[in-house]
C-alpha cells in the first residue's frame, strides 16, 4: 500500500509520513504540486491513497485535486483541514464533499474524506474509511 502526501508544509508531510509508517504503510511526500502530479500521472495505480493539504495556497491555486481526478476519477483522497470545512467547500466549489463531516451534504461521495487537526487523533479512522473497511489492517 502506497500513500502520496502533498503539502507545502514539510513538517506536516513528515508527521503524516510517520503516522503512515507506524501503520506499516509506505508513504512519500511532495511539497511541489507539479512534481506530485507528474509522479501520480506516471503511475496512478501505484497510489492507494492521496493525502492533500487543500488549504495550502500553492496546491489550491494549482487545482491539484481536479487534475488528479482527471487522471483517475476514483482516486481515494484525504483532504487535510484545520478547522474550516466551509473554506474547503469553497475550494471544491461544493463538488467534492467528504461524508465524514457532520455538515457534509453528499454522503454518497465515497472517494473523498477530510482529516482534521490534530491528525493523530483520527488518522487511522479516516484512512480506513477512505480505503474501505477491511482493506487495511491499521492499528485501532
Mean pLDDT (whole number) for 89-103:
43
- Where does the pLDDT of residue 101 fall: very low under 50, low under 70, confident under 90, or very high at 90 and above? very low
Helix 64-71 to helix 33-42 angle (10° resolution) is 10
Torsion of CA 101, 48, 26, 104, to 10 degrees: 0
pLDDT reading at 87 higher than 80: no
Mean pLDDT (the chain, rounded):
76
Cell numbers representing residue 78 in the block: 484525504
Contact 8, 53 (CB under 8 A): yes
pLDDT reading at 135 higher than 80: no
CATH code that applies to domain 2-131: 3.40.50.2300
Alpha carbon 26 to its chain centroid, in Å, reads: 15
Mean pLDDT (whole number) for 54-66:
76
Q: Where are the domains of the chain?
A: 2-131
The residues, ordered by sequence, that sit 6+ positions from 6 with a Cβ below 8 Å of its Cβ are: 13, 29, 30, 31, 33, 36, 50, 51, 52, 53, 59, 64
Cell numbers representing residue 25 in the block: 504503510
Q: Give residue 88's pLDDT.
A: 54
pLDDT reading at 48 higher than 80: yes
Q: Give residue 139's pLDDT.
A: 40
Amino acid at each position: 500500500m502506497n500513500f502520496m502526501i502533498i503539502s507545502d508544509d514539510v513538517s506536516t508531510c513528515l508527521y503524516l509520513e510517520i503516522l503512515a509508517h507506524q501503520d506499516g504503510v509506505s508513504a512519500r511526500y511532495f511539497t511541489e504540486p507539479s512534481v506530485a502530479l507528474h509522479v501520480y500521472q506516471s503511475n496512478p495505480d501505484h497510489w492507494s491513497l492521496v493525502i492533500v493539504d487543500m488549504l495550502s495556497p500553492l496546491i489550491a491555486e494549482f487545482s491539484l485535486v481536479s487534475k488528479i481526478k482527471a487522471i483517475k476519477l476514483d482516486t481515494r483522497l484525504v483532504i487535510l483541514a484545520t478547522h474550516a470545512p466551509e473554506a474547503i467547500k469553497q475550494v471544491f466549489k461544493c463538488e467534492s464533499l467528504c461524508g465524514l463531516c457532520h455538515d457534509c451534504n453528499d454522503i454518497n461521495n465515497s472517494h473523498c474524506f477530510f482529516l482534521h487537526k490534530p491528525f493523530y487523533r483520527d488518522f487511522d479512522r479516516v484512512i480506513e474509511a477512505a480505503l474501505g473497511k477491511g482493506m487495511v489492517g491499521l492499528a485501532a
